[in-house]
């Protein structure tokens, strides 16, 4: 099965959640934005009736929204739990990841995506402070609980094997350590840290992280390093 991934070429962004799943599964895919540029992504948004990327297509259909795409492909890619109830729980938690990612984005764009960061720095500082005080620990504590209370595995979040949700939590933790290293240093996340190490060592993920296909976080994406939004250096 071949896939076509449509996402903005210059950032990992939300496209990375889908890319990681394709990479871990060893799936054949074309990264259309990287191969053909942003124009091809914009064209697919309107042609496919989508609102925003990432968009994933196969020969028959296309889908947008990270959580919806992962619900679609996680079973064919063998990155889903076998049990239906576990599958639904995985999707539910993935939707919480969606909420978390939106809040992470809003730390640097609290007034909306129509203004540059430089035009909303004051609001971003206030938003980030309350994010770090309340929302960051609340989300991380929730995901810690998901990992440490899985009755079927000490390693994975739902069911017995690595799923698209584990790959998403891996990406979120890497992004947070990039954007908010000082804030993260104040929060205990042993299960998430262990998961991040475990995923990074998986054969295909390690090869991907080492490849040119994997681009670094940068200040156009979701996870941005603005030291003034983080806790001060210890
Ligand atoms: N809920 C969507 C959000 C999609 C989204 O916000 N995409 C961004 C890039 S990461 C975009 O290009 N948005 C354009 C827009 O909102 O106009 C998802 O989870 O995939």
Interval 205-222: pLDDT, tens: 999 999 999 999 999 999
**Looking at the structure, do residues 49 and 156 belong to the same domain, yes or no?**
no
Q: Do 51 and 116 belong to one domain?
A: no
Shared-domain flag, residues 42 and 14: yes
Which whole number is the average pLDDT over 139-151?
A: 98
Domain boundary among 23, 50, 73: 73
Residue 4 or residue 234, greater confidence: 4
Ligand 1 atom 9: the closest Cα is on which residue?
53
pLDDT value at position 234?
84
> Per residue, what are the HEC states of the chain?
CEEEEECCCCCCCCHHHHHHHHHHHCCEEEEHHHHHCHHHHHHHHHHCCCCCCCEEECCCCEEECHHHHHHHHCCCCCCCCCCHHHHHHHHHHHHHHHHHHHHHHHHHCCCCCCCCHHHCHHHHHHHHHHHHHHHHHHHHHHHHHHHHCCCCCCCCCCCCCCCHHHHHHHHHHHHHHHHCHHHHHCCCCHHHHHHHHHHHCCHHHHHHHCCCCCCCCCCCCCCCCCHHHCCCCC
Both 63 and 15 in one domain: the answer is yes
- In tens, the pLDDT along 17-75 reads 999 999 999 999 999 999 999 999 999 999 999 999 999 999 999 999 999 999 999 99
Do 122 and 225 share a domain, yes or no?
Answer: yes
Pocket of ligand 1 (CB under 6 A): 13-14, 52-54, 65-66, 98
Are 93 and 49 members of one domain? no
**One domain, residues 107 and 194:** yes
**Are 143 and 63 within one domain?**
no
Distance (Å) from CA 201 to ligand 1 centroid: 29
C-alpha 20 – ligand 1 centre gap (Å): 17
**For the chain, how many structural domains are there in total?**
2
Is 93 within a domain? yes
Model pLDDT, residue 109: 98
pLDDT over threshold 90, residue 169: yes
Note the pLDDT of residue 41.
Answer: 98
> Separation of 66 CA from ligand 1 center, angstroms?
9
> Which range of residues forms the domain containing residue 15?
2-73
Q: Could you read off the pLDDT of 5-27 as tens digits, one per residue? A: 999 999 999 999 999 999 999 99
64/100 same-domain check: no
pLDDT digits (tens, 9 = 90+) for 172-207: 999 999 999 999 999 999 999 999 999 999 999 999
Distance from Cα 153 to the centre of ligand 1, integer Å: 33
pLDDT at 1: 65
> What's the chain's average pLDDT?
98
Are 22 and 130 contained in the same domain?
no
pLDDT for the residue numbered 72: 98
- Across the range 104-117, mean pLDDT stands at 98
Of the chain, the percentage scoring pLDDT greater than 70 comes to 100
């Amino acid at each position: 099965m071949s896939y076509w991934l449509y996402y903005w070429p210059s950032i990992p962004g939300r496209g990375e959640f889908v890319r990681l799943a394709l990479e871990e599964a060893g799936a054949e895919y074309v990264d259309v934005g990287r191969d053909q540029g942003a124009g091809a992504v914009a064209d697919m948004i309107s042609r496919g009736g989508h609102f925003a990327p990432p968009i994933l297509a196969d020969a028959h259909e296309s889908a947008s929204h990270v959580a919806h795409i992962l619900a679609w492909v996680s079973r064919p890619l063998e990155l889903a739990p076998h049990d239906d109830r576990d599958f639904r729980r995985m999707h539910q938690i993935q939707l919480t990841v969606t909420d978390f990612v939106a809040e992470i984005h809003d730390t640097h764009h609290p007034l909306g995506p129509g203004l540059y960061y430089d035009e909303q720095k004051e609001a971003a500082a206030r938003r980030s402070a309350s994010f770090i005080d309340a929302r960051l620990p609340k989300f991380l504590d929730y995901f810690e609980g998901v990992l440490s209370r899985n009755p079927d595995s000490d390693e994975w979040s739902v069911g017995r094997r690595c799923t698209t949700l584990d790959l998403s939590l891996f990406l979120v933790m890497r992004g947070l350590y990039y954007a908010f290293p000082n804030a993260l240093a104040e929060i205990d996340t042993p299960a998430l840290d262990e998961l991040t190490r475990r995923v990074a060592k998986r054969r295909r993920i390690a090869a991907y992280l080492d490849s040119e296909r994997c681009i670094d976080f940068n200040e156009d994406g979701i996870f941005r390093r603005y030291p003034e939004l983080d806790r001060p250096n210890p």
